[in-house]
């Protein structure tokens, strides 16, 4: 599609809510539109299409999308609003969204690759250059690469498996080609991400193979993919995003231990430290198995960073359940905690459960675990005091101090002094201080 007159090019703005998978898919939509003659506009008042890549993991995420729709329509009544992603999947949600002012298109997750065609159908233009994948990542020095979509778990609180569908893996060579392109663009950290990251390759090999805690010969799975990616030339590192405990098998721990390009960091969602609540959540592990994984990882990898998610206020979580969760967190000592409060999601099994915990009590529990998480985060950072750390320096300086900032491979955010020439580089930093993140509640 060709627009020789730049002033005639339709403009778009993308606002992304939610996970790293959504951020990747926003970048893919961005590149599709730019290839096909659209122009990206920063100002909301001037843009023709305002695209919201939505999330529906919590009720707050739903509200954020609706608030964005109202905000943009007030700022630009003539602008066309497009709601894409998870909140635009289910018929009940789509009916409500379609009736909001300014909304002209609802784009399901599997339709995001057709974004140009969808936006140009009304005036007869057709997309001519639809490609999958990405070649860049706007406003970031870490590139997220989606290797997998969908989830075969059926956690009772989670709507994601409903709106994303079953697990599906991208092809190995397609991933390798994309990562190579991003490295050549200068990205020094590649974050492998997916809705259920550890399931990558399962549908490419044996679809009946269940996730397991230990195993041999999974070279065709995620560990094999990491090994292949790490052989690419240039100085860069690989980080895993969230991975379910059941997929943290021996090969994954071995890859973290033995491969210098792989960050020594595991993010394993815990959700609850009480076995009764875990069973109600339909989580496929116990606190005992989770503890075994943590101990194994730390045995093989000294000072391993283990971060986690905790969901509080789930129906059936009484005071004793919460106290067990608090104690369990103190015992395993994660280096960072993302704290969620339970949100009823229609269509999930838990939506039918009765809850006896009032919102005030849930907020108090969230505050307790958030404060605990901050203390554990600070304690973990202190382990590395006085030791040189390899840091990926971010492209923007820390706003409050003016210092350079970035993350170590163990996901400790640091502050350091230095010239702008270090931005977006992997640097061995000798003098630094931890930058504790107060944004713990999601």
Give the pLDDT confidence of 69-87 residue by residue, as tens digits: 999 999 999 999 999 999 9
Q: Are residues 359 and 426 in the same domain?
A: no
What's the predicted TM-score (pTM) here? 0.91
333 shares its domain with 351: yes
Q: Residue 128: inside a domain, yes or no?
A: no
Q: Are residues 112 and 169 in the same domain?
A: no
What is the per-residue pLDDT across 115-139, written as a single tens digit (0 to 9) for each? 999 998 754 444 444 567 899 999 8
305-320 per-position pLDDT tens digit: 999 999 999 999 999 9
Q: Do 237 and 358 reside in the same domain of the chain?
A: yes
203: domain CATH number? 3.80.30.20
Q: Are residues 194 and 94 in the same domain?
A: no
**Would you say residue 30 lies in a domain?**
yes
More confident residue, 430 or 207: 430
Average pLDDT over residues 324-351: 96
**296 and 407, same domain (yes or no):** no
- DSSP-H helix ranges across 263-358: 275-281, 287-300, 319-332
Task: Look at residues 123, 153, 186 and tell me which one is the last residue of a structural domain.
Answer: 123
Per-residue model confidence (pLDDT) at position 439? 42
pLDDT at residue 211 greater than cutoff 60: no
For residues 58 and 23, the answer to whether their CB atoms sit within 8 Å is: no
Give the lowest-confidence range in 34-48, 357-371, 426-440. 426-440
Are 339 and 246 found together in one domain? yes
CA distance 13 to 47: 6
Specify the range with the lowest mean pLDDT, choosing from 12-16, 416-420, 432-436: 432-436
Domain co-membership, 100 together with 196: no
pLDDT digits (tens, 9 = 90+) for 386-425: 899 999 999 999 999 999 999 999 999 999 999 999 999 9
Domain final residue, candidates 359, 382, 405? 382
- Quick one: pLDDT at residue 45? 85
* Spatial separation of the C-alpha atoms in residues 336 and 375, rounded to whole Å: 9
pLDDT at 176 over 70: yes
pLDDT, residue 220, reads 65
**Does 424 reside within a domain?**
yes
Residue 56's CATH number: 3.40.50.2300
Q: What is the mean pLDDT of the chain?
A: 91
Whether the Cβ atoms of residue 205 and residue 220 lie closer than 8 Å to each other: yes
Q: Are residues 106 and 179 in the same domain?
A: no
Instruction: Report if residue 399 sits inside a domain.
Output: yes
| CB under 8 A, 24+ apart: contacts of 283-287 | 283/155, 284/153, 284/211, 284/244, 284/246, 285/245, 285/246, 287/328
pLDDT at 217 over 90: no
Q: Do 194 and 60 sit in the same domain of this protein?
A: no
Q: Which of 123, 155, 177 corresponds to the end of one domain? A: 123
Asked if residue 361 is part of any domain, the answer here is yes
Enclosing domain of residue 45: 6-123
203 within a domain of the structure (yes/no): yes
Q: Are residues 147 and 262 in the same domain?
A: yes
Nearest to 36 by CA among 113, 99, 92, 100: 113
C-alpha span between 252 and 221 (Å, rounded): 9
Judge contact between 140 and 86, C-beta under 8 A: no
> How many domains, in total, are found in the chain?
3
Query: For position 6, what pLDDT does the model report?
Result: 56
pLDDT at residue 170, rounded to an integer? 95
Q: Which residues pair with 144 in a beta bridge?
A: 191
Task: Flag whether 323 is in a domain.
Answer: yes
- Residue 131 located in a structural domain: no
| Per-residue pLDDT at 230 | 96
pLDDT in tens, 348-367: 999 999 877 889 999 999 99
> Are 77 and 211 in a shared domain?
no
pLDDT at residue 260 tops 90: yes
**Residues facing 265 on adjacent strands:** 305
């Amino acid at each position: 599609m060709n627009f020789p007159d730049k002033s005639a090019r339709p403009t778009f703005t993308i606002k992304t809510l939610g996970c790293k998978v959504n951020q990747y898919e926003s970048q893919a939509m961005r590149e599709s539109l730019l290839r096909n003659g659209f122009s990206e506009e920063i100002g909301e008042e001037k843009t023709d299409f305002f695209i919201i890549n939505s999330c529906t993991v919590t009720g707050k995420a739903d509200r954020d999308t609706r608030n964005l729709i109202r905000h943009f329509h007030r700022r630009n009544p003539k602008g066309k609003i497009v709601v894409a992603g998870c909140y635009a999947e289910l018929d009940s949600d789509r009916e409500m969204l379609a009736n909001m002012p300014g909304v002209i298109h609802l784009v399901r997750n599997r339709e995001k690759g057709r974004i140009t065609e969808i936006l140009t159908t009304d005036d007869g233009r057709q997309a001519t250059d639809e490609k999958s994948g990405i070649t860049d990542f706007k406003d970031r020095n870490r590139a997220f690469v989606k290797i997998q979509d969908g989830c075969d778990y059926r956690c009772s609180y989670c709507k994601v498996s409903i709106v994303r569908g079953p697990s599906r893996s991208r092809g190995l060579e397609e991933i390798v080609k994309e990562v190579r392109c991003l490295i050549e663009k200068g990205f020094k950290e590649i974050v492998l991400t997916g809705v259920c990251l550890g399931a990558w390759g399962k549908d490419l090999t044996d679809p009946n193979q269940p996730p397991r805690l230990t195993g041999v010969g999974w070279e065709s799975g995620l560990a094999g993919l990491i090994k292949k990616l790490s052989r690419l030339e240039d100085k860069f590192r690989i980080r895993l995003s969230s991975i379910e405990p059941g997929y943290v098998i021996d090969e994954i721990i071995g890859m973290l231990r033995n491969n210098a390009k792989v960050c020594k960091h595991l993010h394993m969602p815990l959700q609850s430290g009480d076995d009764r609540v875990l069973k109600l959540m339909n989580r496929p592990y116990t606190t005992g198995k989770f503890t075994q994984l943590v101990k194994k990882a730390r045995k093989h990898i000294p000072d391993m960073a283990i971060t986690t998610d905790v969901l509080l206020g789930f129906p059936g979580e009484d005071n004793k359940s919460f106290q067990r969760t608090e104690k369990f967190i103190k015992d395993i000592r994660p280096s960072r905690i993302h704290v969620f409060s339970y949100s009823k999601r229609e269509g999930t099994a838990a939506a039918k459960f009765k809850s006896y915990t009032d919102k005030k009590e849930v907020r108090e529990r969230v505050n307790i675990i958030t404060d605990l998480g901050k203390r554990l985060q600070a304690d973990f950072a202190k382990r590395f005091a006085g030791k040189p750390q390899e840091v990926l320096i971010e492209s923007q300086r820390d706003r409050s101090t003016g210092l350079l900032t970035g993350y170590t491979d163990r996901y400790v955010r640091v502050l350091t002094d230095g010239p702008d020439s270090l931005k977006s580089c992997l640097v061995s930093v000798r003098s630094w201080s931890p930058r504790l993140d107060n944004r713990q509640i999601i």
